[in-house]
Chains A and B, each alone.
Chain A
């Protein structure tokens, strides 16, 4: 008696594009593939998608599906030969008829901003299947559950999208065995300045990152909004061995080192200029998702420890190596390219260069295997320059004075040191200029030196209005620009530099209300009925450009000097 059972369907296929009689069909690389089971019940064709996750074609246009559940008719039969074993057989007529849809992912842009991913069909056999098609495609009818010849999806000549993709999706020819450092966190390699970089935004800035949405091309960025940012803290280094690099069935190991660089940053990378190598030995892990199956009905995540492991090379050298994972078909590795999770504080502040060595296991087991270093081909991406800066910014007051700002003449009169008790007297309707506070300050590092990578600073004074429970800023003249004085707030973008350094060092700015009677005890300072005196805080906050590839570092530290502003005679 026949019964219906769900059986796994596995097959390999390839997608090709017909380019006419004069040219051979070309493989279509990097496109998505859905597979459908179809039937004709007499009233028309019906289609049912078999896969949950689309396949993707490789460089040769090939793809594969494994263990897709399909209903078939089965029965158990017994052999007529001793010992009369039984086996399950499938009715050939119940095997699935297969049709395919080929599509691509496309990023939708609006005004230079990504609006998300959209799927665009290239070729859909559901739209064209009829009896003539079936007569011409016998290999698609009642396809065996496994082990049959590869299925070829030939996109007919004249398909404009497919023909275009064949011409544009050509991947570069990879060398046999090279490696490519390709990202730090969400910052992609092309957003990081190279040694000898000749692009306008990156020239002279090796190891600094500028988001692609901040360049003249304004390409969307996974890590947008950053300009000339050095790197700090823990960095997630991503990279990939080239497609032709053998994976040795999971026996591929590697080390990553950072070096100081003694060459000219404006010249192309010179391996001979590397010095003081330090190997990265921070722990490395990765995470994978195992798709649901009979044993794991809901799927699950697993954390994989990837080293460093102690190994011995064939030369007898002890090495600490990371292991490259060998993903299986029923797994998904969202961060498959993760090569190292590196605490960059191990490196000196400044330009360093990452390099890689690869090893394969040539004998022994998982723990005691013997490694052999693999000779790698040159690649412009086999090293990665990074400008490291792990210095925390420290906003610092150098001196605070009081005086009178004469807006008519642009002078500050009668400057004197701030009273030790922090008392500042103001008189409404002053005729010799408005009372002001002159602040000298710097943004330093923890060693007292000027921080070279300031992004912004902001100077102001806050007080609590009469009867209030919070604070507000005194409305100040943003730039009382007497000679040698600076704006109350400024940022890196307003101060273009030849080098990506911007220091706020020995700055001096004037805090003066934008109206004559604007100090809090004065009539326009805290309307309608101000107190006679106020506690207030002169503050300086700042930020630096340093990033870790996922976000900006060090937040917005600040320093405050508390004062009392009192109306004279009050």
Chain B
């Protein structure tokens, strides 16, 4: 198994929970731009998932945009994406931005409301989802606050990579015009 070099074999899952914060929307748009313009991802290989709301998301035609309402929806969409792309020839990028929390450990928020047990996922939750993936390489990029705390849960496979914006004790900052 090798890292694919064909753009057609590259798939991306991009997520933000809060949709009412400009910087997170810019994050998603900027990543889509990079993937399509510099790495030649076909727009149809990109899935954008966002929390409740109708954000002014400016992405190319063909990008698959999904609006989730809750943690159950998020779980479904992520598992579907991973199952569909569990192909040894494919390389998968999982990109998470939006809100982070560190109450009782690092969390990723799946909507724009105040953090609570019903709207956050933690590293263990994410690891359980990733364990369903049986394809090629998996690259996880996390932009949210305290994202460094997710590293310990993602060290099991030599075919996974992990990139984070900050440590498990740091807030991540960005601007409304340029993203994080």
Contacts and interface: CB of A to CB of B under 8 A. Distances in A.
B101 A78 contact: no
A486 B153 CA distance: 117
Q: Which 9 A-B pairs have the closest CB atoms?
A: A80-B145, A80-B172, A77-B173, A84-B21, A78-B23, A81-B145, A81-B171, A77-B175, A82-B99
Interface residues of A, number: 12
B171 A80 contact: yes
Interface string B10-27: 000000001001110000
A78 B99 contact: no
Interface in A1-28: 1
Contact of A1 (B143, B178, B180): B178
A82 B100 CA distance: 8
Contacts of A75: 175
Contacts of A84: 18, 21, 99
B47 interface: no
Interface in A72-108: 75-84, 86
Contacts of B113: 82
Given A82-B101, A83-B114, A76 B175 contact: yes
Interface string B159-180: 0000000000001111111101
Interface string B127-154: 0000000000000000111000000000
24 contacts: A1-B175, A1-B178, A76-B176, A77-B173, A77-B174, A78-B21, A78-B22, A78-B174, A79-B145, A79-B171, A80-B98, A80-B100, A80-B143, A80-B171, A80-B174, A80-B180, A81-B100, A81-B101, A82-B109, A82-B113, A82-B114, A83-B114, A84-B18, A84-B99
Nearest to B20: A84
A77 B175 CA distance: 4
Contacts of A82: 18, 99, 101, 109, 112-115
Contacts, number: 48
A78 B174 CA distance: 5
Contacts of B172: 80
Contacts of B144: 80
Give the interface residue-count category, chain B. 20 to 34
A83 B20 CA distance: 10
Contacts of B23: 78
Nearest to A89: B173
Interface in B85-113: 98-101, 109, 112-113
A78 B26 CA distance: 12
A75 B23 CA distance: 13
B173 A80 contact: yes
Could you say which of B22, B144, B175, B178 has the most chain A C-beta atoms within 10 Å of its C-beta? Answer: B175
Could you say which of B98, B99, B109, B171 has the most chain A C-beta atoms within 10 Å of its C-beta? Answer: B99
A78 B175 contact: yes
A1 B178 CA distance: 7
A78 B114 contact: no
Contacts of B100: 80-81
Contacts of B101: 81-82
Contacts of B177: 1
Contacts of B112: 82
Interface string A206-242: 0000000000000000000000000000000000000
Contacts of A77: 173-175
Interface string A121-138: 000000000000000000
Nearest to B109: A82
A75 B100 CA distance: 22
A75 to B, nearest CB: 6
Contacts of B174: 77-78, 80
Contacts of B99: 80-82, 84
Nearest to B147: A80
Contacts of B22: 78
A445 B133 CA distance: 116
A79 B101 CA distance: 11
A497 to B, nearest CB: 84
B136 to A, nearest CB: 30
A180 to B, nearest CB: 56
B176 to A, nearest CB: 6
B145 A78 contact: no
Nearest to A87: B173
B124 to A, nearest CB: 21
B121 to A, nearest CB: 15
Contacts of A80: 98-100, 143-145, 171-174, 180
Interface string A424-456: 000000000000000000000000000000000
B143 to A, nearest CB: 8
A541 to B, nearest CB: 83
Nearest to B100: A80
Contacts of B171: 79-81
A80 B21 CA distance: 9
A77 to B, nearest CB: 4
Contacts of B21: 78, 84
A87 to B, nearest CB: 9
Nearest to B98: A80
Nearest to B143: A80
Contacts of A83: 114
Given A79-B171, A80-B100, 8 more contacts: A77-B175, A78-B21, A78-B23, A79-B173, A81-B100, A81-B171, A82-B114, A82-B115
Contacts of A1: 175, 177-178
A80 B100 CA distance: 6
Could you say which of A75, A79, A80, A82 has the most chain B C-beta atoms within 10 Å of its C-beta? Answer: A80
